[in-house]
Amino acid sequence: MKINILPKILNRGKSAGSCHTEDELSDNTGIAKVAIVGTPNVGKSVIFNRLTGRHATISNYPGTTVTMSRGKIKIADIEMEIVDTPGMYSLLPITEEERVARSILLEEKPNLVMHVVDGKNLGRMLPFTMQLIEAELNTLLVLNMMDETEAAGIEIDINELESQLGIPVVSTVATRSHGIDNLKIKIEEAFK
């Protein structure tokens, strides 16, 4: 028995503190998973809706009162499930919402994490992007609210940001669907 259990423990990696086994944690559906994360009110749900359209289901995260949306989309023949996580400020959870968002990241092991930020407040939100990169999550940074960012006279050099962070960066105005097609291209590239 011990011989069978040991490899599972060794393979658990970053969720070593969890009571789940690798078999329980892995997604057996074979479908790719994308998680949308970020602080509240940055436009995560608008982006989720832009990507999934009407194909979404809202449910409680198991064992909690926290609601979340899941939707399925197909980008260039890749079928994927997108999860709109509750808002979170860092990987160190304080609220129940943050605990759920953290569980989704560390236990569901998404193939891609989209960190949505408000471009106006990029400086304040970048430390969380760094945490995601350090946690070795396949991360894509979405600079949303670029209409307000530009109106505030803030210019962001996307190429420079991409090379400094070493991850893809996309700018969007989700409410106007600006940048959503480019976002889909970057999502596709992130799976290659």
**Footprint of Mg ion on 142-181 (CB under 5 A):** none
Long-range contact list for 11-14, CB < 8 A, 24+ apart?
14/106, 14/135, 14/136
Options 11, 41, 95, 163; binder of ligand GDP; rule CB under 6 A: 41
Phi, psi of 137 (to 5 degrees): -90, 140
11 Cβ contact list (under 8 Å, min separation 6): 22
192: three-class secondary structure by DSSP: coil
Phi, psi of 26 (to 5 degrees): -75, 150
Q: Is 26 in the site for Mg ion (CB under 5 A)?
A: no
Minimum Å gap between C-beta 150 and ligand GDP is 10
x/- mask, ligand GDP, residues 160-189, rule CB under 6 A, reads -------------xxx--------------
Which CB sits closer to Mg ion, 33 or 44?
44
Binding residues vs Mg ion (CB under 5 A): 44-45
Binding residues vs ligand GDP (CB under 6 A): 38, 40-46, 87, 144-145, 147-148, 173-175
